[in-house]
């Protein structure tokens, strides 16, 4: 029996491109499809997790929502890598800066993803796995951000399972280890890519600085997010 369509993606075998941009919000996926891609068709609407394939600069490209948290992006990225033959997934999402030198609207390109999740436990490894990005995608994104004159940082992020934490000092402890920002998906994406022998990268826009009590408005977020979309689009 064929693995596709999957329980979560209704696309046929040839409807998804080799590279997928993956914002958390499916409506952001639609925004990218509507504003940057040509000849677009929707390949998924299961659970309203919208996915689209179109053309960008003459090349086939897909964009699909990944949801919130590692369990969600873990499901979608697993199915894309293992059942649909996707080679590259680039997460484009938001993060909270915890390093004092990272500012609102900065782009953080996640070289590695620390985590408090047990996601790696499934592999039965005799130690701690270090989830890291594809070097080729990482270098291309960093070079592109510099070429576009964008304020960007490359480094470690924290992928956490907890949005409303009980320990008010936990982010300070991660910051002491040089972690730049906190988000909720990259570690699972990087582990799925590693296990499948594929490539992944997270490009993140700083939407708030929780340790400073700073955040962007909804309008400011929308305008700022376009920069990381441009970076992701230029490296595919």
Q: Which residues are catalytic?
A: 208
Do 64 and 49 touch, CB atoms closer than 8 A? yes
CA 187 to chain centre: 10
Do 204 and 157 touch, CB atoms closer than 8 A? yes
Assigned token pair, 157 = 């992020």
What distance in Å separates the CA atoms of residue 36 and residue 92, rounded to the nearest whole number?
14
DSSP code at position 121 = G
DSSP 10-44: ---TTSS-SEEEE-SSHHHHHHHHHHH-EEEEEEE
What distance in Å separates the CA atoms of residue 199 and residue 205, rounded to the nearest whole number?
20
Assigned token pair, 192 = 């799925």
Q: What is the β-pairing status of strands 199-209 and 88-97?
A: parallel
CB atoms closer than 10 angstroms to residue 77:
28
Paired residues of 59 in beta bridges = 56
CA dist list (Å): 87 to 80, 169, 232: 9, 38, 15
DSSP code at position 5 = S
């Amino acid at each position: 029996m064929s693995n596709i369509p999957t329980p979560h993606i209704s696309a046929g075998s040839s409807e998804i491109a080799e590279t997928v941009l993956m914002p958390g919000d499916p409506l952001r996926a639609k925004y990218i499809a509507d504003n940057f891609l040509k000849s677009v068709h929707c390949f998924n609407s299961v659970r309203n997790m919208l996915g689209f394939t179109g053309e960008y600069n003459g090349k086939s490209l897909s964009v699909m929502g990944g949801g919130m948290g590692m369990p969600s992006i873990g499901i979608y990225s697993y199915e894309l890598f293992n059942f649909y033959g996707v080679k590259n997934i680039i997460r484009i999402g938001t993060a909270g800066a915890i390093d004092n030198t990272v500012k609102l609207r900065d782009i953080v390109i996640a070289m590695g993803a620390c985590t408090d999740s047990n996601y790696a436990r499934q592999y039965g490894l005799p130690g701690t796995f270090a989830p890291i990005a594809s070097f080729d995608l990482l270098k291309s994104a960093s070079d592109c951000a510099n070429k576009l004159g964008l304020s960007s940082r490359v480094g470690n992020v924290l992928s956490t399972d907890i949005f409303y934490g009980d320990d008010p000092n936990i982010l300070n402890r991660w910051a002491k280890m040089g972690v730049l920002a906190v988000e909720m998906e990259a570690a699972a994406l990087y582990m799925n890519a590693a296990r499948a022998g594929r490539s992944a990268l997270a490009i993140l826009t700083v939407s708030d600085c929780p340790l400073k009590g700073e955040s962007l408005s909804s309008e400011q977020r929308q305008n700022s997010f376009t920069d990381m979309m441009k970076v992701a689009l230029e490296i595919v």
